[in-house]
Structure 1
Amino acid sequence: MGNSIYRFLCGLCAPSSQEHGLHGAHPAVAALGRDILNFGAASQVPEGLSRHVVSSKKAQANWYKKLLAAWKKTRPPPKTPEEAARFVVQTLKNHQKADVEGFLVFYGLPHPNAAPGAPAPAPHAAPPPPKPQSAKFELHTLPVDPKAVSDGDTINVYVDTADPRESGSVPREVQKAAAERAKARAVKDYQKADALQKIIVNGGYRPVPNARGEEVLGKKYRIRLRGIDAPESAMPYGKEAKEALLKLVQGKSLKVYVYDEDMYGRCVGDIYCDGVFVQEQMLKKGLAWHYTAYDQRPELAKWEKQAQTGRKGLWASSKPHKPWEWRKAKRNGTA
């Protein structure tokens, strides 16, 4: 049974596959079945799944063990995304909601409770590239707050202080204030908790929710998107640029490759969200300029040119105002 399914899912369409109702399975279902059966052969979970779920690789392996056992018993195996989604939810019903939902997103399967006709999420988003050698370090952020985006090229993010990169550098006064704040909130002494919150925030930290909704202590980083310059808020398309960036990152955990620090103390970096390169999207939408004074990457120039040719965003104007010239004019009092 397992071998016949595997041959079908690999596109070989063995005659026995039709016997079990597998002919014509949806690509997302085929991907799920292939990964389940591959796990049975090699005990490996798919690359990239960890970006969509909150549990460890060990826990993920346990899911695939259960899915493999259930898949072999299912007659016939699922063919449509809806059938596959119900199969996953039923098999993993005792696991965390965030894990099950992330698992469905990874395979592009609809949530069983989704409204009829609702589009399924895109399956298997491409993982971000490995950290480039020229990058100084990388950050894995907590979910982005809606108020974190100040404009189309700057965003405030928080990194869990439990991260190995952060855990050894939290100031003692911040650690103490966070512990006392938790105690104060437990006894509903909110006045004391608010005073302790100020100490935490002034130290560059903040209690924020993680992907599971649990409050953790996060370190603040201000990120300047490398290689692009978006219109300022008071400029034409400034509001649209901010809203586009917010739509890309809100509520999501980001991977940031940091290359430098600017004169304002911001980390200059490339941002990836669910495998999507954020700067690429901003340039293609015509909501940012390629900042050639600081970044000569040809791919950024190509994406900007695509938006210009399509007259998208700010390029719908015959003479869009360059944000660096607008800032200079404002400093000189001639804006």
Structure 2
Amino acid sequence: MGNALRLLYSRCFEHTTAGDSDSLGPHGVSSATVGVSALAQDLFHFDITSQVPEGLSKHVVSSKKAQANWYRKLVDAWKESKPPPKNPEEAARLIIQTLERHQKADVKGLLAFYGLPQPHALVETTFEPPTSLPEGVRFELHTLPVDAKAVADGDTITVYVSTSDPRESSFVPSHVHAAAVQRSEARSRRNYTEADALHQQIIDSGYRVINLQNEEVLARKYRIRLRGIDAPESKMPYGKEAKNELTRIVQGRSLRVLVYDEDRYGRVVGDIYCNGLFVQELMLKKGFAWHYTAYDKREELAIWEKEARAKRVGLWASSNPEKPWEWRKDQREGR
């Protein structure tokens, strides 16, 4: 338990101090990650010392004894969560669910102490992951953890699937297998120039060797287009925000992808589930995507977009946001 908390905290701290040192929060990390990293640090500290963090009493109404009770419960909840929270919303949900029987003022104060979203700010999701493959699904993917750089925009992600997956193992070209073996041998001889050249051959074939928990994994590359939604392009208003939101949802997570089709750009088109949540539902309810009615007629997607419009969240804060398909048409026609 302690090692897991320490590892998470150290990773968050290293990430923020590398690029966000100008916006450090009260726990010495940036405002973007203060909640998760600080909570991890304090749980690790409590697990060793049984001491709650200094300054918490200014944010809550209950005694130090009660606070210690909360932290014992949170330590246990963190232990049981697989995987543990990696973003502010997940950390907030863990606190809210764990302390649901405690005073609302204390829960809100604890969230405020860590800079985490308040209960009213969390998006409630309703769509359950299917237990069997829905009609029209061609195949299912289970990806390796997603890197932040793999998110191209608010509706496109590059993912990798291990070739140890039964479906993938039968499709790996023989020359890719051979190059992977030769690369491993070259690295054992410390001939890194040869190893890098062999890895480039693997990459050119649509694969990559990924280091995962100190183990090298040969994986196949897929570009995923989120089915049924269309997010603002990167150069459009809210394009950066849509990309950042999708990154926040999937970064570091393994995804379940139900593939329905392939588009003209070679991307597979599918529904994505992350940590039990339907990603398209989150993007629509947060107001960072349109329901792409030209290609998808699902009523629930239309309802989720309508909810975001009514709340004027995300891009709907603008009175007349430009539709991405119209923006792309204008770009093609040179307008």
Relative to the length of structure 1, the TM-score reads: 0.65
Unaligned runs of 5+ residues in structure 2 are 1-68, 99-109, 117-121
CA 1:249–1:213: 2 relative to 1, 3 Å: farther
Mapping of residues 132-151 of structure 1, within 5 Å: 132-151=134-153
Give the Cα separation in 1 of the matches to 2:282 and 2:84.
24
Structure 1 counterpart of 2:314: 313
Q: Does 1:324 align with 2:325?
A: yes
| C-alpha displacement of 1:183 | 1.7
Q: Does 1:246 align with 2:226?
A: no
Count of residue pairs the alignment pairs up: 239
* Structure of greater Rg: 1
CA 1:104–1:259: 2 relative to 1, 3 Å: closer
CA 1:227–1:84: 2 relative to 1, 3 Å: closer
| C-alpha displacement of 1:87 | 11
Aligned 8 A contact 2:127 2:278 in 1: no
Structure 1 counterpart of 2:268: 267
| C-alpha displacement of 1:133 | 2.2
Give the Cα separation in 2 of the matches to 1:229 and 1:108.
30
Query: Sequence identity of aligned pairs in percent?
Result: 57
| C-alpha displacement of 1:188 | 2.0
100-109 vs 213-222, which moves further: 100-109
Aligned 8 A contact 1:287 1:313 in 2: yes
Write out per-residue CA displacement over residues 262-309 of structure 1, whole angstroms, 9 at most, x where no aligned residue: 111110000000011001111111111110000010000000001111
> Secondary structure of 1:102's match?
coil
> Secondary structure of 2:217's match?
strand
Structure 1 counterpart of 2:177: 175
Give the Cα separation in 1 of the matches to 2:311 and 2:77.
43
Structure 2 counterpart of 1:286: 287
> Secondary structure of 2:249's match?
helix
> Secondary structure of 2:136's match?
coil
Unaligned runs of 5+ residues in structure 1 are 1-78, 90-99
Give the Cα separation in 1 of the matches to 2:314 and 2:182.
49
Counterpart residue type for residue 195 of structure 2: A
> Secondary structure of 1:208's match?
strand
> Secondary structure of 1:263's match?
coil
| C-alpha displacement of 1:187 | 2.5
CA 1:84–1:229: 2 relative to 1, 3 Å: closer
Counterpart residue type for residue 166 of structure 2: P
Write out per-residue CA displacement over residues 27-57 of structure 1, whole angstroms, 9 at most, x where no aligned residue: xxxxxxxxxxxxxxxxxxxxxxxxxxxxxxx
| C-alpha displacement of 1:215 | 2.0
CA 1:313–1:103: 2 relative to 1, 3 Å: closer
Structure 1 counterpart of 2:189: 187
Relative to the length of structure 2, the TM-score reads: 0.65
CA 1:87–1:190: 2 relative to 1, 3 Å: same
Counterpart residue type for residue 135 of structure 2: Q
Structure 1 counterpart of 2:72: 82
CA RMSD in angstroms comes to 3.0
| C-alpha displacement of 1:86 | 5.7
Counterpart residue type for residue 82 of structure 1: R
